[in-house]
Amino acid sequence: MVANLIGVSPSSIHAAQDVTALRKVLESVHADSCPLSYNFHMHTVCSDGQLQPEDLMHQAIVIGLRGLAITDHHSTDGYRRAHRWLETYREDAAWRGNPVPALQLWTGIEVTSNLANTEVHILGYAFNPDSPSMKRYSHRESPKGADAIAAQVIHNIHLAGGIAVLAHPARYRRAPEDLIPAAAEAGIDGVETYYAYNNPTPWCPSPRQTEEVQRLSSTYGLLSTCGTDTHGLNLRQRL
């Protein structure tokens, strides 16, 4: 399959930016959703990961994922390549009379930001990657100045039609009790509730941090996401 020789259908582009469908999924996400049903935090060679986007998508289909987002740092190139590959794969499957995977790929990105005088990462989902508000975050470099302020990052994701999520809230210099309220005040939509902080095998959310983040997420009425934060060659692990 030659992914870069085939166009991407308007319907698949719409689905990748369908924030309503994504919100519905996130409202049902739980501790067992990742890594076999949903995964909203993965990296490719387009930032600091080891997987080619096409190989990531093939692995996602083998696993049987129902939905995912590639969240490369300051880049949507991995998403674009993955989207083209998935379109080609589906067309090829249909032509051969094989089952066409129902896997849903949403747009994604991870942006380095400043929240409460702390460096944090904000995940953007289901946004228009061609929106002018997102161009400043798509050059493979951390934003500077006002563009790096968390409230501004969140605002620009919203302008592009997406939702914003605080990544791994228990990994920063300041505690989730400080950061999640600050993120909520800045307009965040959700937090990465289900995350494996000690990279266990097999992957599973860290119990203590999950309970703490769940409580804060509920207090502030935020959505919960899950993800392996894959940087290696296995979507079921971080490294």
Domain CATH code at residue 180: 3.20.20.140
| Number of helices and strands in the chain (H, E) | 8, 8
Look at residue 231 and tell me if it is in a domain.
no
Task: Determine the angle formed by the axes of helices 207-219 and 176-185, rounding to 10 degrees.
Answer: 30
- Structurally, how many domains does the chain consist of? 1
Look at residue 4 and tell me if it is in a domain.
no
pLDDT in tens, 163-209: 999 999 999 999 999 999 999 999 999 999 999 999 999 999 999 99
Look at residue 235 and tell me if it is in a domain.
no
> CB–CB of 156/183 below 8 Å?
no
Identify the CA nearest to 165 among candidates 145, 175, 150.
150
Q: Count CA within 13 A, CB hemisphere, residue 173.
A: 7
Listed as ranges, residues in the chain with pLDDT below 70 are 1-9
Identify the CA nearest to 73 among candidates 107, 114, 112.
112
The pLDDT assigned to 141 comes to 97
Residue 161's domain comprises: 16-226
pLDDT in tens, 206-233: 999 999 999 999 999 999 999 999 999 9
